[in-house]
Amino acid sequence: MVTTDLYCGAYLLSTGGALEEIKVDRGRRRPSVLFIFSGEDVLARQREFSSGQAVVNLARFKASMIHLKDQMFGCLRENERGERYAGYAGGSFGA
């Protein structure tokens, strides 16, 4: 499952989704970040988030948000220096 939404990504990560990779999409005026998740329930969790039915453990969501931001900014910094970002393979976070 791919998303550019940081909040959706933090929700997926905080509910057991595995962050497989982060990529920079250079197809726009400003680069955007693609978060790539896997796991058996990620599509169902994404639908919960999109429909407003998501319920979170706030401490876990906050930790997931901080983790995603750290990874995202690291990826963007590497991209600005012209380096190729190979991705992030970290599995689930805080589950």
Q: Which DSSP string do the residues of the chain spell out, in sequence order?
A: -EE--HHHHHHHHHTT-EEEEEEEE-SSSS-EEEEEEESTTHHHHHHHHHHT-----HHHHHHHHHHHHHHHHHHHHHHHTTPPP-----EE---
Q: What local confidence, expressed as pLDDT, does residue 75 receive?
A: 87
Task: Give the pLDDT confidence of 32-78 residue by residue, as tens digits.
Answer: 899 999 998 999 999 999 999 999 999 999 999 999 999 999 888 88
For the chain, the structural domain boundaries read: 2-84
Per-residue pLDDT at 26: 76
Give the pTM.
Answer: 0.82
